[in-house]
Amino acid sequence: MQTVETLNEGLKRAYTLKITAKDIEARVDAELKRVAPQIRMPGFRPGKVPANLVRKMHGPAMMQEALNSSVQDGIQSLIAEHGLRPAMQPSVALAPDYELGQDAELTVELEVLPDVPTPQIEGLKLERLTVPVADDAIDAQLQRFAEQQKRYDDAPEGHAAATGDLVVMDFVGKVDGVAFDGGTGTDMSVEIGSGRLIPGFEDQVIGAVKGEERQIAVTFPDDYPEKTLAGKAATFDLTIKDVRLAKEAVIDEELATSLGLESLEQLRGLLKGQIEQEHNGLTRTHMKRKLLDQLAAGHDFPVPPSMVEAEFSQIWQQLEHEATHEADPAAALAEMESERDDYRKIAERRVRLGLLLSEIGQANGVEVTSQEMNRLIAQAAQQYSPEERQRFIQYVQQEPMAAAQLRAPLYEDKVVDWLFERAEITDRDVTREELEAAIESEDGFATGTHVHDHDHDHDHKPKKKAATKKKAEPAAEQAAEPVTAEAPKPKKAAPKKAKAASASEEPAKEAPAKKPAAKKAPAKKA
């Protein structure tokens, strides 16, 4: 194999790679010796099929496989020989006039990770804003909880269902007069006015009495999860089996024992713990943002443009999806366009912070254990149907990109915790409103929430105008998370362009053609 460097500019590298026909042929011969004894063919005893006949029948396929493995090994050798740390999957192109049996000449282009300067982590100072849990906060939470745990009494004979009542019904849904999958159910209980069912359904149940049969007409929303029903007009044949009246929410020992608890005091303790957990999450949000702001301000180094572009594309797709749910999608998209450069800066910041956190973690022995990784995979698998979970687990175990996406948030949090332990922290009691205000605004920018449910984000996003944009929603809020992963390791690369990898993560293998699909929502639910 012959290698010639053709570009070395900044973080960009390019090489020509020549693999001789002799090397490829040697691989074919080795494979023939391996598989020939296993080939069965009429007229020959098992294991006695001549190698030249096997070559005649399977030669082109074996030649192609030998070429692929030669390319993969060649790129692996190239990376190792030059000590490269690819930022993304290398782009590999075979000469367009190549024919099987000839010397193969490849063009390999890639960007490498920068040499991250020694992180400056000395002298970090943070303020920890804490919110004590007051009794009135527990009382308010307890009242809300009691209202959620409504109890119902049977309605008087002939009572017409009204908003707030619980109606028990059987139903059959039809589109164009034909019952559809997931549209039939028995003994479904729904509180009128809860908004649980598709628009218009609950309103048409008002006035129903026990034993009544009625038909209602609805239209499924255009964004309904089951695409075959989205935007379709449908009818539902209802049989009202019972109507019940909501009892006044009462906070007493019975409320606690109905939940399997020993006492009301135990329920109060559990709710207090829940509130404390929420406050701790907000406190961590604020501290993490301040920490990463300090790191970002103290470090500036070049980052691979391809990684920034990949990160920006991800952010932009999320924002475009969010814009479609605005009251005026066109205005939201226009506002996004005016802030494109700001979001590109966010993408660059995310990549740089990801590389920086990765460097800190690697230098100080921070790692995600195999047990932690197994827990992450198991948790992520729960979003799939039982028959698809094993396929998902196997996919993550085989694909570095998928594993990196699961690992990165936990790895980032562990590095952040490591930094918290070494920072000088002062405590100050505040109200919840003050803490939320500190998170929401700073220097004219709004702060979104972390893409993970246990933490919050740290980046500043362009402030949205009230006329177009409501308070940040999850899809856009994801636009500020740093791209963090563990140490890069050279991997075999297929001779084609692959998808972007996380910052400082190894190039990923190509994803399988089909991934496990998430479970579909029942047709009756909105």
Tens of each residue's pLDDT in the chain, 526 residues: 788 899 999 899 999 989 998 888 888 888 877 776 777 777 676 666 676 777 777 778 888 888 888 888 888 899 998 999 888 888 999 888 888 878 889 999 999 999 888 888 888 999 999 999 999 999 998 888 888 777 888 899 999 999 999 999 999 999 999 999 989 999 999 999 988 899 999 999 999 999 999 999 999 998 888 889 999 999 999 999 999 998 877 888 888 888 888 999 999 999 999 999 999 999 999 999 999 999 999 899 999 999 999 999 999 999 999 998 888 889 999 999 999 999 999 999 999 999 999 999 999 999 999 999 999 999 999 999 888 999 999 999 888 778 888 999 999 999 999 999 999 999 999 999 999 999 986 532 232 323 333 333 445 555 544 333 333 332 222 333 444 433 333 333 333 333 333 333 333 333 333 333 333 333 333 2
Q: How far is CA 511 from CA 87, 277, 396, 464, in A?
A: 18, 38, 10, 36
Report pLDDT for 397. 87
What per-residue confidence (pLDDT) applies to 205? 95
Yes or no: say if 90 and 109 are a contact pair by the CB < 8 Å rule: yes
3-class DSSP assignment, residue 388: helix
* pLDDT value for 521: 34
C-alpha to C-alpha distance for 374 and 371, rounded to whole angstroms: 5
Query: In angstroms, rounded to a whole number, what is the distance separating the alpha carbons of residues 524 and 471?
Result: 30
Q: What is the C-alpha to C-alpha distance for residues 259 and 268, in angstroms, rounded to an integer?
A: 13
Q: How many CB atoms lie within 10 A of CB 362?
A: 16
Burial of 517 (0-12, 13-18, 19+ CB in 10 A): exposed
Please report the pLDDT score of residue 426 as a whole number: 96
What per-residue confidence (pLDDT) applies to 219? 94
CA-CA distance, 519 to 82, in Å (whole number)?
A: 46
The pair of structure tokens assigned to 449 is 């929430």
Which of 405, 396, 402, 394 is CA-nearest to residue 354?
A: 405
Among candidate residues 504, 430, 514, 524, the one with its CA nearest the CA of residue 181: 524
What's the first-to-final CA gap in the chain, in angstroms? 60
Residue closest to 524 by CA, chosen among 225, 214, 231, 240: 225
Task: Find tokens 């990770």 and name the residue.
Answer: 113
Task: Look up residue 173 and give its DSSP letter.
Answer: E
